[in-house]
């Protein structure tokens, strides 16, 4: 009967985590024999005081050695359980999800830290993936030239959930900048269409150093279409049919970048080139057009290939060109006049401005002031050589002064991008008529700010305007000394 009661009590009450010998001293009627303790230790007897009149007040109280010694008793099991914590401090502090997302958004470009965040908490993983897979750069596989992007297609097929996080994808045919057709990867419809089909939230497509091969059957061009916010052609081989195929598939509604297009040896389609201006509506929703083609001697011809496309909504036009002869000035002016009816921001980076100066002493009478053909112009970005030989520097700043003097009076913002020589970046002995330049600026009554910056070299598919750098302190002091009225008016700014 006793054993049954004992077993029942043990089942209902858990075993205490303290020393098993201490439980024996809970009863005051039991005193263990001396042999129970090790020879090196003995129980401590504490005599109770006489304040209590009960019979137990005169009985000794046994304090086990486990309670007085720092070393555990033989057979004692030390508990790893921590002492109880008050309920108020036991609750863990959890940040709101909105605050966690703000912290993760701040780390958008810090990929190593984002990877640590992804491994730290499952709750953070989804937010981190939006940044880790926001921009994906895919290098072509050298194993199969006909299926250079086949491994990426296989990755999207086996990981379909990751395609929902990709917003920008760059298909790069060659990691090096070799302008050789044989080193470029072939990109046809059997690769491009399966890729973009698996990226439902894609808004930016960048094609770098690829050879675009359109389908032979033009009837299949409209089987799949997709809206894009931004389309970048970065050093691609493409004839006019390839460009038309890309414009047919992707309905670009914001930005089109054409960076250093490289001409192929195939002939241009006469039917396309002989089309009158503004015949195709494939690019009618483009609001920003950037063309940088300094390394291409046929760059103006490529620009004229865009003449048949309707682009009435272009509000920002950025041109970086090299002109070889005077006849090209009129052709460039015709292109800007065709596409610049609604342009509010114009960026001009023309290396050989001497062509403009040779036309006539007055840019307005010769009709080559490209800002005049943009009646709604509010922002102008001029790139002027500043540390080259004296004659080149004088031509550039003289051209800029004439443009400002004869340009539209509606200008509100002006950016001067200073192009310096790599050999003499700090050469500041410029023979420029600064007073005339300052008078041209002050004649613009609605001008709100003039910002000076250092033009940078293009980094990959980023434009030169996006790679601009702040001016050195020596250049800032130099400009402030020579443009005192502009500084006093409080509209002189520097890129920070």
pLDDT digits (tens, 9 = 90+) for 418-456: 887 766 655 666 778 888 999 999 998 899 999 999 887
- Using CA atoms, how far residue 218 sits from 160, 263, 308, in Å, is 30, 22, 18
Does one domain contain both 345 and 393? yes
Does one domain contain both 252 and 301? no
What is the residue-averaged pLDDT of the chain? 74
Q: What pLDDT is stored for residue 265 in this prediction?
A: 41
- The tokens for 341 are 């009816």
* Residue 110, phi then psi, degrees to nearest 5: -95, 80
Per-residue b or e along 191-221, where b marks 16 or more CB atoms closer than 10 Å to that residue's CB? bbbbbbebbeebbbbbbbbbbbbbeeeeeeb
Q: How confident is the model at residue 395 (pLDDT cuts 50, 70, 90)?
A: confident
Q: What pLDDT is stored for residue 175 in this prediction?
A: 67
Closest CA to 378 of 351, 349, 415: 415
* Residue 121 counted as domain residue: no
Q: What pLDDT is stored for residue 461 in this prediction?
A: 74
Q: Kindly state the average pLDDT of the residues 205-233.
A: 85
- Per the model's pLDDT, the better-predicted residue between 171 and 89 turns out to be 171
Q: Kindly state the average pLDDT of the residues 486-495.
A: 92
Angle 122-132/111-120 helices, nearest 10 degrees? 160
Give the HSE-up count for residue 64: Cα atoms under 13 Å, Cβ half-sphere.
23
What's the domain count of the chain?
2
CB neighbours (10 Å) of residue 479? Answer: 21
Burial of residue 473 (CB within 10 Å: 0-12, 13-18, 19+) is exposed
Closest CA to 202 of 253, 249, 163: 163
Domain end residue (candidates: 230, 265, 300): 265
- Using CA atoms, how far residue 61 sits from 22, 58, 189, 478, in Å, is 13, 9, 93, 93
349: which DSSP letter? E
Q: How far apart are CA 231 and CA 255, in angstroms?
A: 6
Q: How far apart are CA 143 and CA 211, in angstroms?
A: 17
Q: How confident is the model at residue 490 (pLDDT cuts 50, 70, 90)?
A: very high
pLDDT digits (tens, 9 = 90+) for 159-198: 999 999 999 999 998 766 555 566 788 888 899 999 999 9
Closest CA to 373 of 402, 409, 337: 337
Q: How far apart are CA 246 and CA 428, in angstroms?
A: 46
Does one domain contain both 373 and 493? yes
Domain end residue (candidates: 205, 234, 265): 265
Contact 163, 199 (CB under 8 A): yes
pLDDT digits (tens, 9 = 90+) for 5-58: 444 444 444 444 444 444 434 444 444 444 444 444 444 444 444 444 444 444
Q: How far apart are CA 456 and CA 13, in angstroms?
A: 78
Q: How far apart are CA 305 and CA 311, in angstroms?
A: 13
215: region left, alpha or beta (phi > 0 left; psi from -120 to 50 alpha): beta
- Using CA atoms, how far residue 436 sits from 218, 349, 371, 385, 442, in Å, is 57, 22, 19, 18, 10
Does one domain contain both 296 and 402? yes
Domain end residue (candidates: 265, 293, 312): 265
Q: Kindly state the average pLDDT of the residues 232-238.
A: 80
Q: Three-class SS of residue 289?
A: strand
Please give the residue range of the domain that contains residue 491.
Answer: 272-496
Residues 6 or more apart in contact with residue 406 via CB below 8 angstroms = 362, 363, 364, 369, 372
Q: What pLDDT is stored for residue 17 in this prediction?
A: 45
Does one domain contain both 325 and 397? yes
Does one domain contain both 231 and 297? no
- Per the model's pLDDT, the better-predicted residue between 226 and 386 turns out to be 226
Does one domain contain both 347 and 402? yes
Does one domain contain both 226 and 329? no
Does one domain contain both 426 and 298? yes
- The tokens for 148 are 């250079």
Q: Three-class SS of residue 373?
A: coil
* Residue 31 counted as domain residue: no
Q: Where are the alpha helices (DSSP H) in 257-298?
A: 270-273
* Residue 113 counted as domain residue: no
- Per the model's pLDDT, the better-predicted residue between 38 and 246 turns out to be 246
Q: How far apart are CA 285 and CA 312, in angstroms?
A: 8
Q: Three-class SS of residue 61?
A: strand
The DSSP bridge partners found for residue 172 are 139, 208
* Residue 91 counted as domain residue: no
* Residue 86 counted as domain residue: no
Does one domain contain both 443 and 337? yes
* Residue 234 counted as domain residue: yes
Look at residue 298 and tell me whether its pLDDT is greater than 70: no
Look at residue 311 and tell me whether its pLDDT is greater than 50: yes
Contact 452, 495 (CB under 8 A): yes
Q: How far apart are CA 234 and CA 317, in angstroms?
A: 17
- Per the model's pLDDT, the better-predicted residue between 304 and 11 turns out to be 304
Does one domain contain both 279 and 252? no
Q: Where are the alpha helices (DSSP H) in 56-149?
A: 65-68, 87-90, 97-106, 111-120, 122-132
Q: Kindly state the average pLDDT of the residues 445-468.
A: 83
Residues 6 or more apart in contact with residue 389 via CB below 8 angstroms = none
* Residue 150 counted as domain residue: yes
- The tokens for 345 are 């921001």
* Residue 67 counted as domain residue: no
Does one domain contain both 283 and 139? no
The CATH number linked to 467 is 3.80.10
């Amino acid at each position: 009967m006793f054993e049954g009661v004992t077993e029942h009590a043990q089942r209902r009450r858990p075993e205490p985590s303290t020393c098993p010998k201490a439980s024996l001293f809970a009863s005051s009627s039991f005193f263990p024999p001396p042999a129970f303790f090790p020879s090196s230790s003995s129980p401590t007897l504490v005599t109770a005081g006489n304040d209590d009149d009960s019979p137990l007040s005169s009985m000794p109280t046994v304090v086990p050695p486990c309670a007085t010694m720092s070393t555990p008793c033989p057979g004692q099991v030390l508990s790893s359980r921590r002492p109880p914590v008050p309920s108020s401090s036991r609750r863990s502090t959890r940040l709101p999800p909105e605050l966690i997302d703000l912290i993760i958004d701040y780390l958008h470009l810090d990929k190593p830290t984002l990877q640590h965040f992804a491994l730290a908490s499952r709750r953070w993983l989804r937010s981190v993936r939006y940044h880790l897979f926001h921009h994906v750069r895919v290098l072509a596989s050298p194993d199969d030239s006909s299926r250079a992007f086949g491994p990426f297609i296989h990755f999207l097929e086996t990981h379909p959930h990751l395609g929902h996080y990709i917003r920008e994808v760059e298909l790069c045919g060659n990691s090096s900048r070799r302008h050789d057709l044989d080193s470029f990867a072939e990109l046809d419809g059997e690769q491009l269409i399966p890729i973009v089909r698996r990226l439902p939230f894609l808004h930016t497509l960048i094609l770098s150093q690829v050879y675009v091969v359109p389908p032979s059957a033009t009837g299949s061009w409209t089987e799949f279409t997709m809206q894009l916010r931004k389309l970048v052609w970065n050093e691609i081989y493409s004839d006019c049919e390839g460009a038309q195929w890309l414009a047919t598939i992707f309905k670009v509604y914001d930005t089109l970048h054409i960076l250093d297009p490289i001409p192929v040896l195939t002939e241009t389609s006469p039917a396309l080139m002989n089309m009158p201006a503004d015949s195709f509506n494939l690019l009618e929703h483009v609001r920003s057009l950037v063309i940088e083609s300094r390394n291409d001697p046929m760059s103006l011809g490529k620009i004229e290939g865009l003449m048949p496309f309707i682009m009435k909504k272009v509000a920002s036009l950025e041109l970086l060109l090299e002109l070889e002869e005077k006849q090209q000035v009129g052709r460039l002016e015709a292109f800007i006049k065709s596409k610049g009816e609604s342009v509010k921001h114009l960026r001009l980076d023309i290396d050989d401005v001497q062509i403009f100066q040779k036309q006539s002493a007055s840019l307005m009478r010769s009709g080559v002031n490209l800002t005049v053909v943009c009646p709604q112009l509010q922002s102008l970005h001029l790139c002027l050589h500043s540390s080259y030989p004296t004659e080149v520097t004088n031509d550039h700043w003289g051209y800029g002064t004439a443009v400002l003097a004869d340009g539209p009076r509606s200008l509100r913002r002006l950016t001067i991008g200073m192009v310096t020589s790599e050999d003499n970046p700090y050469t500041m002995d410029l023979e420029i008529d600064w007073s005339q330049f300052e008078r041209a600026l002050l004649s613009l009554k609605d001008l709100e700010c003039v910002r000076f910056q250092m033009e940078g070299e293009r980094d990959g598919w980023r434009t030169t305007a996006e790679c601009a750098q702040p001016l050195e302190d020596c250049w800032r002091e130099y400009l402030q000394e020579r443009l005192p009225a502009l500084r006093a008016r409080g509209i002189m700014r520097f890129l920070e």
